[in-house]
Amino acid sequence: MPRFIVVHRAPLTRDELIARAKAFPNYAPEGVCWRSSYCDFAGKTHFCEWEAPDERTLIRVLTLTQTPFESVHPVVSFDALRGDFEE
């Protein structure tokens, strides 16, 4: 499944992220998964890893859930300890 990093520049709080994460499985479309987030609360910037069939589907989900985002980046995972890309 393709992976994406979504950059959010928004004043999201810990509680808001927790609530969104708990609610997401209830309305997530088939094949879309929010895997993890790296949060800079002081800088109001968040980097979230997603799986989705394609970028268009992911953007549609972000828009429908009123999740503010700055950009979406298709990515591949590189394991620095193994020195290899995920397949």
Q: What is the pLDDT of residues 3-16, one digit of tens each?
A: 999 999 999 999 99
Q: Which of 9, 6, 8, 17 is nearest to 75 (CA)?
A: 6
| pTM for this predicted structure | 0.89
Query: 16 in a domain, yes or no?
Result: yes
Query: 10 in a domain, yes or no?
Result: yes
* 69 contacts 7 by C-beta, under 8 angstroms: yes
Instruction: Tell me 38's DSSP state.
Output: E
Using one digit for the tens of pLDDT, what is the confidence trace for 20-64? 999 988 888 999 999 999 999 999 999 999 999 999 999 999 999
For residue 17, the enclosing domain spans 3-76
Which CATH number belongs to the domain containing residue 64 in this structure? 3.30.70.3090
End-to-end CA distance of the chain: 10
Query: 53 in a domain, yes or no?
Result: yes
Q: Which residues contact 16 (CB under 8 A, 6 or more apart)?
A: none
* 77 contacts 85 by C-beta, under 8 angstroms: yes
Query: 22 in a domain, yes or no?
Result: yes
